Amino acid sequence: MPRFLRRLPSSYSFLLVILTTVLLLGGCQITAPLRSPEATAPPLVFRGGPAADSTARVDSISVADIQWADFFADSVLVELVDTALRENLDLRTTLQRIEVARANLRFARGALLPSVDAVASAGIDRYGDYTQNGIGNYDTNFSDNISGNQRIPYPVTPDYFLGLRSSWEIDLWGKLRSRRRAAYTRFLASEQGVRAIVTELVAQVATRYYELLALDNERGVLLRNIKLQEQALEIIKIQKLGGRATELAVQQFRAQLLRTQGLEAEVQQRIVETENQLNFLLGRYPGPIRRGIPLRNQHVPEAVSAGLPVQMLQRRPDIRAAELALQATRADVDAARAAFFPSFTLTPYVGFNSFRAAQLLTPSSIAFGLLGGLSAPILNRNALRATYGRATAESIIAYYNYQRTIQRSFQEVSTSLRGIANYNRVFLLKQQEVEALSNAVSISNDLFLANYATYLEVITAQRNVLEAELALTNTRRTQFLLLIDLYRSLGGGWQSAK
């Protein structure tokens, strides 16, 4: 039995032992280990890529391994992405969140070290005549063992102190270490958050850029058709004068021309909107955007490799951030569990202490002391239970969020993989459709001039080829957007440019 317990009455010693045991057992009961719900294991290969049970070889090289400066072949797009990474305000805001996380980490690390304060204090005490200190000080002044400056001022007693005071909580149960671990993992998660913002920003800039190229291509198609339709309108007017066409035919051709001109005006507005959106991503005010390679000359790869799912899990920033957030919440649970157990605190001090200011800095006024104490929660356990329950719930939420992030990533990769393959086939079919309809326009014009086709057949042929050319442009744009989305969903884009 410890010496201080032997000095207490036996009933007090027994009561203290019982109280300590109850506290420790109560802490153990309230803080059972947290168990995460069971989750389904992720697939070994991506749906849309080589099948796991086929003889096809699963390529371990992923398109996401390519740095964004090498992934995009258009030098103008590379320049725009580089500008966005320097000037985008959302990215700058996220970088400041890293500084917040770094400050929290420094605070958590400092909690493990003793706090030392420089103290200079002065005070006075007026003890009552019927108090232990009042009687003791008065009686001490009559002692033969003291004289002169050693006599205690009476009835008002000053107290001066100049020195250092410290407080240090000894982390017996790992509470402070758990808080430090939570702060550290949140700091790492904030860094992954920046990578996720960079990945998303690169994808958004590239998406807006290819949408802009697609709109340019649409406008070119419309302008070309407007020119052809203007020529057709002039021809039908001449035929009307010769008695070979009616006013109805003239108005039909004119209505088609007006419709195409209206579509061209709408595309111009969409170009302005897309340029403004792109400028916002670049951290700039509205203005024109320089273009590079036209959409029709941009190369789309016939096949891309997604690599292995395990590579995506390690590379994708939002998955890593969700995993680190889960680790941080589990550390919070450990800290909340440890709060139920007694804390041991040391409070040493050293300095000069005197009741006379003139004697304060003399060697005989040097004082030091050390106090160690255990404190355990008794009446505030409901607050601790609430904290533990909240930390547990947040940990389970973080677990579900982690699983949801993984499932969403597989969905995005699978959709993009299958979409790239399907839209490559769609593009080839659309090309053949445009070629066939272009031939139909030429044939309908010849037949109309030879009185073997009506003007309605000519109008229908012209409208069909226009819609097919616009659909071909939209298909080309979708191909690039799917490729960009696959690159982003695999975790590519946050790597620094060479």
For the stretch 6-15, pLDDT in tens is 444 554 455 5
Taking CA atoms, 177 is separated from 36, 113, 388, in Å, by 22, 11, 17
Ordered alpha helix ranges (H), 152-291: 175-241, 247-281
Burial readout 330-355 (b: 16 or more C-beta within 10 A, e: otherwise)? bbbbbbbbbbbbebeeebbbebbbbb
Residue 202, sorted as left (phi over 0), alpha (psi -120 to 50) or beta, turns out to be: alpha
Residue 95: CA atoms inside 13 Å, Cβ hemisphere, count?
9
Q: How far apart are CA 257 and CA 245, in angstroms?
A: 17
Task: Please report the pLDDT score of residue 17 as a whole number.
Answer: 52
Strand partners, 121: 161
pLDDT of the residue at 466: 93
Q: State the virtual CA torsion across 378, 380, 384, 389 in degrees, nearest 10.
A: 110
Domain residue limits, the chain: 1-30, 39-112+174-341+380-489, 114-170+343-375
CA distance 78 to 64: 16
Condensed to tens digits (0 to 9), the pLDDT of residues 396-435 reads 999 999 999 999 999 999 999 999 999 999 999 999 999 9
| The predicted structure's pLDDT at residue 448 | 84
CATH number of 39-112+174-341+380-489: 1.20.1600.10
Instruction: Give me the torsion for CA of 233, 238, 241, 247, rounded to 10°.
Output: -10
- CA–CA gap between residue 341 and residue 25 (Å, rounded): 9
Q: Is the bond preceding 155 in cis, omega lying within 30 degrees of 0?
A: yes
- DSSP for residue 62: B
Measured distance CA(163)–CA(366) in Å, rounded: 9
Q: What per-residue confidence (pLDDT) applies to 1?
A: 46
The pLDDT of residue 413 is: 92
Residue 10 has a pLDDT of 52
- The fold of 114-170+343-375 is Outer membrane efflux proteins (OEP) (2.20.200)
Q: Which residue ranges in the chain fall short of pLDDT 50?
A: 1-8, 11-12, 22, 25-28, 50-58, 497-498
Q: What is the pTM of this model?
A: 0.78
State the burial class of residue 13 (Cβ atoms within 10 Å of its Cβ: 0-12, 13-18, 19+). Answer: middle
Sequence-distant (≥ 6) Cβ neighbours of residue 467 within 8 angstroms? none
Q: Are 423 and 479 in contact (CB under 8 A)?
A: yes
Pairing of β 115-126 and β 343-354:
unpaired
C-beta separation of 489 from 412 below 8 A: yes
